[in-house]
């Protein structure tokens, strides 16, 4: 009996030492468990609502959009704009490599400008973006977003959007209005950059919203794109900024090819 | 003396940023970024948050000039910017497909604000496209049971923009 008790005590102590020594690992595991719980909760909620899980929580751009305030001025769109692939249907990198490049390394912005000039002007203008990237680039960006979310357990949203407020790619673990978030963060980032200029400071690196139960961090990827990270307080700010910056750099690298 | 706040609104490319820059006594604060949608065909950059400039009247009264983004997706900024505003200047680009409809959209979206203040309308680029005429705008407003001053202006011209402000101040004094 004494032997059994001693053995149990020894195991308990060993466990404490192990968690002391491998505290970080323990934290990471805790974070992972919390993340899994979050996912499980969402799955459950999705099932209750008749959805089929995360797949439907991701990239539902059309459902996230506001209803138009009034009818938009209808007009023909005589140019052939590139249809942006849905994240859910993005090919793997291996598959994407076999696709013909849409405009290769050329900037679509300059390639189709001429054709756009005959476009009928509507109030909101054509939502189809003229920034132009290959499917391979988009797939790699999507992979970067997912890696970012894996590295930062508290992050439940990562969005790449244009600096004028259109979402391009995003991964969300919660049902968030990606379109609104993209638009509002574009305003916020632009304001942040203006305030930095007016304060005679250079290079606004991050715009950070510190809230009671989470953070929203926005930063530029390049001249046309920005990254928005939405996290709980599970991850510390330094880690979020560091991984966010690294991800933005990798995205910039991918998109500059 | 409390600063008066005037708001410039209107479709993208109508000349809001230009008008504020034309009269502001310091280089206006702008939040312009590259356009990445169909608007890029019309202009390279677009305002995504606000423009801000200032002008001081002879009596020392300062007027803050706030420009809204034109696109409807930035409506949340419209709602923020009108808070504490005293007057609205709607600029309409006459080159667009349906400038009267554009005007109606802004008058509708700012209807609550307009109830408590006054509006003046500036029609830009009417030298490049003559129709609709100022009379057409007046008839359109009349059909909506609204009466607001409408002028053809050049947003780059300081005198034209100041004239709009003078008119708005006069309307506010009368009402």
Please report the ipTM that was assigned to this predicted complex: 0.90
Q: Specify the pLDDT at position A93.
A: 58
Please give the share of chain B, as a percent, with pLDDT higher than 70.
100
Q: Yes or no: say if B12 and A125 are a contact pair by the CB < 8 Å rule.
A: yes
| Per-residue model confidence as pLDDT tens digits over A5-54 | 554 444 444 444 443 433 334 344 444 444 444 444 444 444 333 333 33
Q: Specify the pLDDT at position B73.
A: 93
What is the residue-wise DSSP string for A78-110? -S-PPPPPPGGGPPPHHHHHTSPPSSTTS-HHH
Q: Specify the pLDDT at position A40.
A: 44
> Chain A: which residues have CB within 8 Å of chain B?
66, 68-70, 73, 75, 77, 109, 113, 116-117, 119-131, 162-166, 179-180, 183-184, 186-188, 190-191, 193-194, 198, 223-224
| Per-residue model confidence as pLDDT tens digits over A72-87 | 333 333 333 334 444 4
Note whether B31 contacts A193, CB cutoff 8 Å: yes
Note whether A129 contacts B31, CB cutoff 8 Å: no
pTM: 0.72
| Per-residue model confidence as pLDDT tens digits over A239-255 | 999 999 999 999 999 99
**Is the preceding peptide bond at B120 cis, omega within 30 degrees of 0?**
no
Note whether B102 contacts A123, CB cutoff 8 Å: yes
A84-93 average pLDDT score: 48
**Residues of B with Cβ-Cβ distance to A127 under 8 angstroms:** 37-38
| Per-residue model confidence as pLDDT tens digits over A193-209 | 999 999 999 889 999 99
More confident residue, A33 or B107: B107
Q: Specify the pLDDT at position A30.
A: 43
Structural tokens at position A38 = 């979050």
Among candidate residues A217, A226, A112, A124, the one with its CA nearest the CA of residue A168 = A226
Domain limits for position B47 = 4-174
Burial of B5 (0-12, 13-18, 19+ CB in 10 A): middle
Q: Specify the pLDDT at position B175.
A: 77
Under DSSP, the state recorded for A185 is H
Q: Which residues pair with A219 in a beta bridge?
A: A227
Q: Yes or no: say if A157 and A188 are a contact pair by the CB < 8 Å rule.
A: no
Q: Yes or no: say if A226 and A233 are a contact pair by the CB < 8 Å rule.
A: no
Give how far A75 is from chain B: nearest CA, Å.
Answer: 9
- Cα dist. B31→A178, A190, A199, B78, B157 in Å? 21, 5, 15, 14, 22
CATH of residue B12: 3.40.50.300
Among B12, B48, B100, B102, pick the best mutation site for testing chain A contact (most A Cβ within 10 A).
B48
B159 has a chain A CB within 8 A of its CB:
no
Q: How many domains does chain B have?
A: 1
More confident residue, A112 or B124: B124
Q: Yes or no: say if B137 and B121 are a contact pair by the CB < 8 Å rule.
A: yes
**Distance between CA atoms of residues A228 and A156, nearest Å:** 11
Q: Specify the pLDDT at position A244.
A: 96
Note whether A128 contacts B49, CB cutoff 8 Å: no
B148-160 average pLDDT score: 96
Q: Specify the pLDDT at position A54.
A: 39
More confident residue, A86 or A233: A233
**Distance between CA atoms of residues A157 and A176, nearest Å:** 8
Place of tokens 């702008």: B30
**Distance between CA atoms of residues B47 and B78, nearest Å:** 12
Strand, coil or helix: B151: strand
Confidence of residue A91 (pLDDT cuts 50, 70, 90): low
Among candidate residues A34, A76, A41, the one with its CA nearest the CA of residue A57 = A41
**Distance between CA atoms of residues A187 and B37, nearest Å:** 16
Contacts of B2 (CB under 8 A, 6+ apart): none
Structural tokens at position B42 = 């019309």
Burial of A125 (0-12, 13-18, 19+ CB in 10 A): buried
A163-177 average pLDDT score: 94
Q: Yes or no: say if B123 and B40 are a contact pair by the CB < 8 Å rule.
A: no
The CA-based dihedral angle spanning residues B98, B102, B107, B109, taken in that order and rounded to the nearest 10 degrees: 140
Whether the predicted pLDDT of B36 surpasses 80: yes
Confidence of residue B3 (pLDDT cuts 50, 70, 90): confident
Task: State the DSSP H helix or E strand holding residue A207, giving kind and residue range, or none if neither.
Answer: strand A207-211
| Per-residue model confidence as pLDDT tens digits over A95-141 | 555 544 333 323 333 223 333 332 333 456 666 677 788 999 999 99
- Cα dist. A88→A35, A59, B5 in Å? 21, 7, 47
More confident residue, A183 or A73: A183
Q: Specify the pLDDT at position B38.
A: 86
Query: At residue A134, what are phi and psi to the nearest 5 degrees?
Result: -75, 165
Q: Map out the domains of chain A with their CATH numbers.
A: 56-256 (3.30.450.30)
Q: Yes or no: say if A162 and A129 are a contact pair by the CB < 8 Å rule.
A: yes
Confidence of residue A168 (pLDDT cuts 50, 70, 90): very high
Q: Specify the pLDDT at position B83.
A: 95
């Amino acid at each position: 009996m004494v032997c059994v008790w001693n053995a149990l005590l020894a195991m308990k102590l060993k466990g404490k030492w192990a968690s002391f020594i491998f505290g970080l690992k323990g934290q990471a595991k805790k974070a992972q468990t919390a993340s899994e719980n979050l996912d499980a909760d969402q799955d459950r909620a999705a099932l209750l609502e008749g959805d089929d899980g995360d797949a439907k929580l991701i990239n539902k751009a059309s459902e996230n959009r506001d209803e138009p305030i009034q009818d938009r001025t209808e007009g023909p769109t005589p140019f052939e704009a590139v249809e942006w692939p849905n994240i859910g249907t993005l090919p793997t990198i291996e598959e994407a490599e076999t696709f013909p490049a849409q405009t290769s390394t050329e900037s679509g912005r300059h390639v189709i400008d001429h054709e756009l000039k005959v476009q009928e002007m509507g109030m909101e203008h054509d939502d189809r973006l003229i920034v132009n990237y290959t499917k391979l680039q988009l797939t790699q960006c999507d992979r970067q977003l997912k890696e970012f979310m894996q590295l930062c357990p508290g992050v439940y949203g990562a969005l790449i959007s244009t600096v004028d407020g259109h979402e391009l790619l995003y991964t969300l673990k919660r049902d968030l209005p990606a379109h609104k978030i993209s638009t509002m963060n574009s305003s916020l980032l632009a304001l942040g950059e203006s305030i930095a200029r007016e304060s005679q400071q250079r290079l606004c690196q991050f715009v950070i919203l510190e809230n009671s139960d989470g953070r929203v961090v926005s930063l530029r990827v390049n001249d046309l794109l920005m990254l928005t990270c939405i996290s709980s307080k599970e991850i510390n700010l330094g880690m979020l900024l560091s991984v966010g910056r690294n991800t933005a750099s990798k995205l910039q690298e991918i998109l500059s090819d | 003396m409390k600063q008066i706040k005037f708001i410039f609104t209107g479709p993208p490319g109508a000349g809001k940023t230009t008008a504020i820059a034309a009269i502001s006594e310091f280089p206006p604060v702008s939040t312009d970024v590259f356009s990445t949608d169909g608007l890029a065909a019309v202009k390279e950059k677009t305002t995504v948050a606000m423009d801000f400039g200032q002008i001081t009247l002879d009596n020392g009264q300062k007027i803050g000039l706030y420009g809204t983004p034109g696109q409807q997706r930035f409506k949340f900024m419209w709602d923020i910017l009108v808070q504490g505003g005293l007057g609205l200047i709607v600029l309409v680009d006459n080159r667009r497909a349906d400038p009267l409809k554009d005007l109606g959209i802004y008058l509708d979206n700012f209807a609550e604000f307009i109830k408590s203040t006054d509006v003046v309308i500036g029609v830009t680029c009417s030298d490049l496209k003559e129709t609709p005429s100022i009379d057409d705008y007046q008839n359109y407003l009349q059909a909506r049971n609204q009466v607001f001053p409408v002028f053809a202006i050049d947003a780059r011209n300081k005198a034209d923009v100041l004239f709009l402000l003078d008119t708005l101040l006069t309307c506010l004094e009368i009402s």
